[in-house]
Amino acid sequence: MQVDGRSLARRAALALAAAAAFAVVAAPGASAGAGPLIVGGSPTTIDDFPATVIFNVDGAQHCAGTLVAKNKVLTAAHCTDGVKAAQMEIIGGQTNFSDTTGEKAGVSDVWQNPAFDMNGMQHDNSVLTLDKDLPYQPATLVQSADDAAYKAGADVTVVGWGTTSEGGDVSDQLLKVNVPVVDNTTCADDYSKSGSNYDKASMFCAGVPEGGKDSCQGDSGGPAYVDGKLAGIVSWGQGCARKDFPGVYTNVGNDYTTISSHLG
C-alpha cells in the first residue's frame, strides 16, 4: 500500500488534511450533519453494535475496534504500529463520541500480528488486552477464509465514527453503511492499476462500482460484519468511496487461528 495520498490507511491520525485533523482532536462531529454519512450510510446506536469500541491515543480519536472477549479488543495493526499501550484508551457502550457515558479501560498489552507490514498492509490486525473486563457482548468471529461471508455479493455492514467524506469531518454519532463484497480478482485488478498492493489471502474488499458508500479515515480498526459475525477490520483504500475503488478490509477468517490464540 502506498501511504501517499492515493491509498490511505483509515486511521484518524494518518494523512488527514490539517483542518480535518483539527476536527478529529478538537471537535468530533462538528459538521457531521452536512454531506453523506460514513460515507453514504446512516446513523445507528451502540445498542445495535455493542461490541464496537472507540480507540483513543493520548486522549484523541485515533481508530475503532471490536470487543472479541470481555478484556480483548481486535483492531487494525496500522492503528497500533509505533504506539505504546500506555498511550491507548478504549471506550465501550457509547453511541456518540462526545458523550461521557461509556465504560473506559486502559490497555495492558498489545499483540501486533508479526506478519503485518505497513508498506503492504497484509495481516492488518492486532489484539489489545484491557486492564479490566468490559460489560458488553463480544462479537463472534468468522473462522475461515472459505466462509460464505467472503463470497462476492455478501452483504457487509461497516460501523464507525470516521469522516463523513474524503478529507472531511468525523461523525459524533456512530454510523453504519451496507456494501457488498466485491470479487477478489476484480478488486486485485482495480488496485493494481493504481500501483497499490492487494493481497487476496489476507484482505477482502467491499463497495459499489459507482462509489459513494464506504468506510473512511477514523474508521480504521473498526468492524465489518456479515450475518452478525465479525468478518473484517477496516484497513485501507484509495481515498474514500471513489468509483471502482472499494474499501479494503482485513480478512479475519484467514487469520482466525492466529488471532484466536491471543484471546485467552
Fold match, 8-44+142-251 / 52-138+256-260: yes
| C-alpha cell read off for 226 | 456479515
H-helix or E-strand spanning residue 157: strand 155-160
Domain 8-44+142-251 grouped into CATH 1.10.3720.10: no
- Cα of first residue to Cα of last residue in the chain, in angstroms, is 32
The arithmetic mean of pLDDT across residues 109-131, rounded, is 96
Parallel, antiparallel, or unpaired: how do β-strands 155-160 and 203-206 relate? unpaired
Q: What is the pTM of this model?
A: 0.88
Residue 4 has pLDDT above 60, yes or no: no
Under 8 Å between Cβ of 255 and 202: yes
The arithmetic mean of pLDDT across residues 243-251, rounded, is 95
Phi, psi of 198 (to 5 degrees): -130, 120
Average pLDDT taken over every residue of the chain: 87
Active site residues: 78, 124, 220
pLDDT recorded at residue 102 = 96
Q: Which fold has domain 52-138+256-260?
A: Thrombin, subunit H (2.40.10)
DSSP-derived secondary structure letter, 188: H
Q: What is the C-alpha separation between 163 and 239, in angstroms, rounded?
A: 11
Under 8 Å between Cβ of 14 and 185: no
By C-alpha distance, which of 218, 191, 9, 219 is closest to 116? 9
The arithmetic mean of pLDDT across residues 239-264, rounded, is 95
Parallel, antiparallel, or unpaired: how do β-strands 52-57 and 88-92 relate? antiparallel
9 pLDDT tier (thresholds 50, 70, 90):
confident
Measuring CA to CA, how many Å separate 147 from each of 23, 49, 141? 39, 22, 11
pLDDT recorded at residue 12 = 62
Query: What single string gives the DSSP state of each residue in 166-192?
Result: TT-PBPSB-EEEEEEEEPHHHHHHHHH
Least confident stretch, 11-25, 126-140, 181-195 = 11-25
Residue 98 has pLDDT above 60, yes or no: yes
| Each residue's pLDDT tens digit, 177-199 | 999 999 999 999 999 988 888 99
10 pLDDT tier (thresholds 50, 70, 90):
low
Residue 240 has pLDDT above 60, yes or no: yes
Boundaries of every domain in the chain = 8-44+142-251, 52-138+256-260
Q: What is the C-alpha separation between 204 and 73, in angstroms, rounded?
A: 21
